[in-house]
Amino acid sequence: MTLLRPLLVLLACLAMTPAAVSHGAGDASGTGDITINADSMNHDPAEDIFTANGHVVVHWEGMTLNSDQATYGRKDGRLVATGNVVMTKDDNVMRGTRFSFDVATGKGELENGTMVSAPGQGNFTFSGKKITRVDDNNLVLDKTELTTCDLPDPSWKFGAEELKVNLLGYAIGKNIIFYVQDVPVLYLPWAAFPVVRDRRSGLLFPRLGYSNTRGAEVDIPFYWAIAPNQDATLDLDIQTTRGVGIGGEYRYARKRGSEGSAGGYLIYDLRDDHWRGQITQSHKEIFSPDMNLRMAINETSDRTFLSDFGERSGDYNRQSNDSTVNFLKTWQNNALTVYMRNSQDYYAQDNSHTLQTLPEISLATVRQQIASTPLYFDMDASAANFYQSDGPTGQRLQTFPRLTLVTTLPEYINATAFAGVHLRAYGNDNIPAGSGIRSSDGDLVPEVGARVSTSLSRVYTVNGDNLKKLRHELVPEVSYGYTPNQDQTRHPFYDYGDRLAWQNMATYSLTSHLGGKYQNGETTEYRDLMRVKLSQSYSFEGTRRDLLTLVDANRPWTDVILESDTWLTPKFRLTLDGRYNVHDGRISSVDPGVEFDDKRGNAVGVSYRMSRNEVEYLEGRLSTKVFRPWTFGYTTRYSFDRPGILESVYSVEYQQKCWSINLALVDRPGNTAFHVSFTLAGLTSGGAR
């Protein structure tokens, strides 16, 4: 998105003029490097000058020049073409009234010249009263104009008294004026424009805005093309209410798909009278197909920074911010993970009671058959170090080895049974007095279970225009799990892995799959049409833990859970996740949604989320290009439990062939912000981000 995209393609036809030619010309004849064809051809033997008239066509090493007249002096090696001069090379076109070229010096001049780039290369039009070729890589253009709009009445253009162009670097100009139609709106006493197709460093178009908490805002970005695999964006953020901020983001790519970025933002907040900022980093290192490292650092200077300066949706009311490191190494049957997490809890009074994981090492062994028996072995194991400023800290070792029996029932019955034991060991520090937590302890908690399922399916012939067959499959399943009741209060509570719930529970589920076979000419496609799953559990002991209630005593039946995905068309999807409490006779949670996306710029989505006594909100999003050249977008979240709009974002883009304007209004509790940005086709888009 450099401010002016490359001009190399537009000027290449001047730079590619040969430094030497074979002397000679003739009517429809070849003379080495230069070939001239014309309706008539004259030769002055005394001066050795060829004169061509009428439909003159000159070929120079891949370049074609058309004109009404042309002269070529074999003694001085000078070519002059006049009258409707058109030069073409690689689909790039130059037009002018007169073109002259000195073979000996390599200097050429095009008068009243206009250059148009090849299709797909920016659609540039670059004109000048005189365009002088100094050498292979340098040009001088007098009284020039640049635009990507159609002539003769471009919507916008840049004008300059003079541009000195280095085809391998920049065009440097003085007294630059930006015009909308023919009205001058911006003056630059000096500017340097990149003129190559590759990414080049330069200023990006500023973003303007206003916020009732930041005041008027101007963000001026600078793009730095460091290397083919590295770039950066630096920002100067001027806010009339909060001060002047500086930000930056560095991006890089490495071998084998490794990549990452690092950035930050710093501002001396005039309202709060202190420095505030943010540091972010993301890295993915692919050592090999079976080993990788992923890092993400997200740190803010204070607990309200994101609510004041967060740009992305959801940042302003983020509950926490995590910095993580995750290393993964896999083998054929094992996976080793090293995980670290440092969390900032923005909803707590301070971070003293926020548990940090520094680190946790886990080993997972996938199910493996033992010799030729029907027994299989798998295991999960981890060793973790937990830290918090105020509260218990220490280490936890836990393993869960498990044996699974795969029975030899009839082939249409899938049955397994397993038995395992949870082994935990602790070493604890900073134990509060009277808590009953021991400095070192451990225990063994067994767990057993079984699962039986089958599959019933049928295929129906439809023979529709496209839909030929339907396949319906029902998968009933029954499972059972048992974990004995043991007192675990002597262990610290780092997470729910320290409180294995007492369970004596059976679960049933019924899953329905519906798929279709579609025929379109010679193409066959199989698509999922609907998946519905119904499940519920029963606790024989009357105590259970589930996702919503965590622990629910004396109520044996869990919620009835209904999950479904329905694809009415490949563009239209319905989703539902609902839970019904059979004891209270009411819905515990429900999350329906509808999504439509035609892949042509028109999309809509609506979802509702209700978790009783927790949250209840409606979320909607819409974007459409139906009213071209306008594009409208809208997203909103409305809270029912805390009545009011959580966030609304309105966006409008008006797009013409060579320019567009983008408007965005972000409305959040306590803050309304407005932003506007411009795009000049081919000049302020591409390459930078």
| CA–CA distance, 292 with 314 (Å, rounded to integer) | 29
Judged against a pLDDT cut of 80, whether residue 21 lies above it is answered with no
Q: Which of 162-171, 191-200, 403-412, 418-427 has the lowest mean pLDDT?
A: 191-200
DSSP 298-350: EEESSTTHHHHH--STTSTT-SEEEEEEEEEEE-SSEEEEEEEEEEEESSSSS
What is the C-alpha separation between 328 and 468, in angstroms, rounded?
A: 45
**End-to-end Cα, the chain, rounded Å:** 7
Q: Hey, what domains does the chain have and what are their CATH numbers? A: 8-199 (2.60.450.10), 455-590 (no CATH), 595-689 (no CATH)
- How far is it, in rounded angstroms, from Cα 320 to Cα 305? 12
pLDDT of residue 409: 74
User: In this predicted model, what pLDDT tens digit does every residue of 522-537 receive, in sequence order?
Assistant: 889 999 999 999 999 9
Mean pLDDT score of the chain, rounded to an integer?
A: 85
Q: Does residue 687 register a pLDDT over 60?
A: no
235: left (phi over 0), alpha (psi -120 to 50) or beta: beta
- Cα angle 119, 121, 123 (rounded to 5 degrees) comes to 65
- pLDDT score recorded for residue 14: 39
Block residue for tokens 């002018």? 96
Separation CA 17–CA 11 (nearest Å)? 11
* Residue pLDDT, tens place only, 146-192: 787 888 888 888 888 888 877 666 778 888 898 888 899 888 888 77
SS3 content of the chain, % helix, strand, coil (to 5): 5, 65, 30
Find which of 78-92, 390-404, 494-508 is predicted with most confidence, using mean pLDDT.
390-404
Q: Mean pLDDT throughout 137-151?
A: 82
Residue 390 clears pLDDT 50, i.e. is over it? yes
Span 459-478, average pLDDT:
93
Q: Are 49 and 70 in contact (CB under 8 A)?
A: no
Choice between 117 and 325, residue whose per-residue pLDDT is larger = 325
Beta pairing partners, 651: 633, 664
- What's the longest Cα–Cα distance across the chain? 118
pLDDT at 96 over 60: yes
Task: Give the residue with greater pLDDT, 514 vs 408.
Answer: 514
pLDDT (average), residues 334-347: 94
**Sequential DSSP letters for 178-230:** EEETTEEEEEEEEEEEE-SSS---EEPPPEEEEETTTEEEEEEEEEEEEETTE
pTM, 2 dp: 0.72
Euclidean distance between CA atoms 48 and 43, whole angstroms: 7
Among 121-125, 296-300, 538-542, 588-592, the least confident range:
121-125
Instruction: Name residue 530's amino acid.
Output: M
Q: Is 155 exposed, middle or buried (0-12, 13-18, 19+ CB in 10 A)?
A: middle
pLDDT tier at 583 (50, 70, 90 boundaries)?
confident
